Structure 1
Amino acid sequence: MARSVIRFADWSLSVDLSGSGPIFESECTTCGESSGTADEKEGPETWCLRHAGRTGHTGFRGITTSFFRAQKVGDQ
């Protein structure tokens, strides 16, 4: 049997600004079609309106992916 030692330390979590910003996507809750990802929310929002006009589907899920970085408190 394997044994592990876990040492506890104080950590903080913050938004990672070193890479890209949030990524936006919309998904139809009726058929599951997706807008694809975009760096700006306007593209996926426009996709929802076009999809609704084309299919009559009216429910959508907005997905925003943000990135975080964990850091030990006291480390700079």
Structure 2
Amino acid sequence: MVVRAMYRHLEHSIYLDPNAERDLEDVECTGCDWTAGGGGAGLGLTFPQIQDAVLKHTGATGHSGFRQVTTNYWRVVRSGQDVATQLSVPVVPTPGQVEPPEPT
């Protein structure tokens, strides 16, 4: 039996997923398991509300260390393919994001 395989290397790019929420913010206390969550646009707390919750937590517990967690979702797209088709929607770049290549 003869087994033949062909390998090829394809270039890929990575982009923010336009279908996903952007910049989901959570703040966690480093002294306990307390968390204030933003949950993204239209959900959870706004950033000023998160700041207020952090100050209230500090006043109630004396904890002064917090960690901010930002979550974004990404997609890998094969080079030379139609980016919008692979992502199922038109690509909307985030500020500072490199524009995707034009389809060929």
User: So what's the TM-score if we normalise by structure 1?
Assistant: 0.77
Aligned partners of 2:37 and 2:8: how far apart in 1? Answer: 41
1:60 matches 2:61: no
Shift of 1:20: 1.6
* Superimposed CA distance per residue, residues 14-61 of structure 1 (whole angstroms, 9 cap, x where no aligned partner): 111222222110100011211134216514333211111111110000
Q: What does residue 97 of structure 2 align with?
A: none
Partner of 2:18: 17
Of 39, 44, 47 in structure 1, the residue corresponding to residue 53 of structure 2 is 47
Matched residue, 2:30? 29
C-alpha root-mean-square deviation of aligned residues, in Å? 2.1
Higher relative contact order (CA 8 A, sep 6+): 1
Between the aligned residues of both structures, percent identity stands at 29
Q: Specify which structure has the higher proportion of strand.
A: 1
Equivalent residues, number: 72
**What is the TM-score with the length of structure 2 in the denominator?**
0.59
Radius of gyration: which is bigger?
2
Instruction: State the alpha-carbon separation in 2 of the partners of residues 32 and 51 from structure 1.
Output: 12
The answer for unaligned runs of 5 or more in structure 2 is 1-5, 83-104
> After TM superposition, what 4+ stretches of structure 1 lie above 6 angstroms from structure 2?
none
